[in-house]
Amino acid sequence: MNLHKERKIFIMKKILALVLVFMLTLGTVAFAAEFKDMPDDWSTAALTAAVENGLLGGSGGYIYPSDNMTRAEMATIMARACGATKEAVITGFTDVNPDDWFYASMAKAVAMGAFTGSDNKLNPDNPITRQEAFLVLSRVFGLATFNVDTAILDTFKDGGKVDDWAKKGVAAIIASGYVAGNDGYLNPLDNISRAEFAVVMDRLIKYYIDDAEAEIPTDGNVMVRVPGVNLNGIKTDKMVVIGDGVGEGDFEVKDAEILNKLVIRAGTKVSVAGAFTEIATVVPGVVVYGTHDNIEKVHSCDGSRFEFPTLIMLPGTGDAE
pLDDT digits (tens, 9 = 90+) for 27-41: 334 356 689 999 999
At residue 25, does pLDDT exceed 90?
Answer: no
Which is nearest to 133 in space by CA: 119, 116, 114, 149? 114
Contact 293, 276 (CB under 8 A): no
DSSP state for residue 150 in the 8-state scheme: G
C-alpha 200/C-alpha 135 separation (Å) is: 12
Under 8 Å between Cβ of 111 and 89: no
Domain locations along the chain: 207-319
pTM of the predicted model, to two decimals? Answer: 0.85
What is the spatial distance between Cα 146 and Cα 261, in angstroms, rounded to a whole number?
A: 11
Share of the chain above pLDDT 90, in %: 76
Of the candidates 157, 82, 171, 88, which has an alpha carbon nearest to the alpha carbon of residue 122?
A: 88
Is 20 a residue whose pLDDT tops 80?
no
Question: Which pLDDT value is given to residue 292?
Answer: 72
Q: If residue 114 lies in a helix (H) or strand (E), which one and from where to where?
A: none
Q: Mean pLDDT throughout 82-102?
A: 97
Residue 146: partners with Cβ closer than 8 Å, 6 or more residues away: 278, 280, 297, 299, 317
Q: Residue 158 pLDDT more than 80?
A: yes
Mean pLDDT for the stretch of residues 60-65: 93
At 311 the pLDDT is 59
Q: E strands of the chain, at which residues?
A: 207-209, 222-224, 235-236, 240-242, 250-264, 269-281, 287-290, 294-300, 305-308, 311-313, 316-319
The model's pLDDT over 262-318, given as tens digits with 9 standing for 90+, comes to 999 999 999 999 999 999 999 999 999 988 778 888 888 888 988 887 655 555 555
Instruction: Measure the CA–CA gap between 242 and 120, rounded to whole angstroms.
Output: 31
Give the containing element (helix H, strand E) for 167: helix 164-175
- What pLDDT, on the 0 to 100 scale, is given for residue 145? 75
Share of the chain above pLDDT 70, in %: 86
**pLDDT at residue 107, rounded to an integer:** 98
Looking at residue 21, its pLDDT comes to 35
CA–CA separation, 205 and 178 (whole Å): 10
Question: Mean pLDDT throughout 111-122?
Answer: 94
The DSSP code for 214 is P
Q: Residue 154: pLDDT band by 50, 70, 90 thresholds? A: very high
Please name every residue paired with 118 in a beta bridge, in sequence order, or none if there are none.
121
pLDDT value for 315: 54
Residues 203-260: tens digit of each pLDDT: 999 999 999 999 999 999 999 999 999 999 999 999 999 999 999 989 999 999 999 9
